[in-house]
């Protein structure tokens, strides 16, 4: 349902130009990723709540959450550079040629045209 809403909205604003198709593919990609992350979090929480109804698992769960919190902090500090690179790659993948995309942005802002045009990237 969510994905259909995004696809319908995006197809309504599509005009067939390559700049718009790059933006549309980026919106569809990120909406799909967001939807899958939300589904994963909901399912994970549902399983955790269901398992916490059993007393032996609840005792194990408390110590597991405490150790997972400490491990998460350690891994977070260790993987900062990796996560930054992966996020940069995710934002970079949808654009086929970043120079053309920057030139398109430059031309969409007429106040930028003047001395120093065309820009050097």
Confidence of residue 112 (pLDDT cuts 50, 70, 90): low
Q: For residue 120, is it within any domain? A: no
CA 49 to CA 115: how far, in whole Å? Answer: 63
Q: For residue 112, is it within any domain? A: no
At 65 the pLDDT is 78
CA 62 to CA 9: how far, in whole Å? Answer: 44
Report whether 32 contacts 105 (CB < 8 A). no
Pick 94 or 53 by higher pLDDT.
53
Report whether 99 contacts 121 (CB < 8 A). yes
Range of the domain at 30: 2-105
pLDDT digits (tens, 9 = 90+) for 20-52: 566 677 777 778 888 889 999 999 999 888 888
What pTM did the predictor assign? 0.46
Q: For residue 13, is it within any domain? A: yes
pLDDT at 115 over 60: no
pLDDT at 61 over 70: yes
At 107 the pLDDT is 56
User: What is the domain count for the chain?
Assistant: 1
């Amino acid at each position: 349902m969510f994905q259909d809403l995004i696809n319908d909205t995006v197809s309504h604003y599509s005009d067939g130009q390559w700049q718009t198709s790059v933006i549309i593919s980026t919106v569809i990609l990120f909406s799909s990723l967001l939807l899958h992350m939300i589904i994963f979090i909901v399912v994970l929480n549902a399983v955790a709540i269901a398992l916490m109804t059993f007393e032996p698992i609840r005792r194990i769960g408390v110590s597991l959450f405490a150790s997972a919190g400490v491990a998460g902090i350690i891994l977070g500090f260790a993987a900062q550079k990796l996560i930054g690179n992966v996020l940069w790659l995710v934002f970079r993948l949808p654009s086929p040629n970043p120079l053309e995309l920057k030139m398109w942005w430059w031309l969409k802002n007429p106040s930028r045209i003047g001395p120093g045009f065309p820009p050097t990237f």
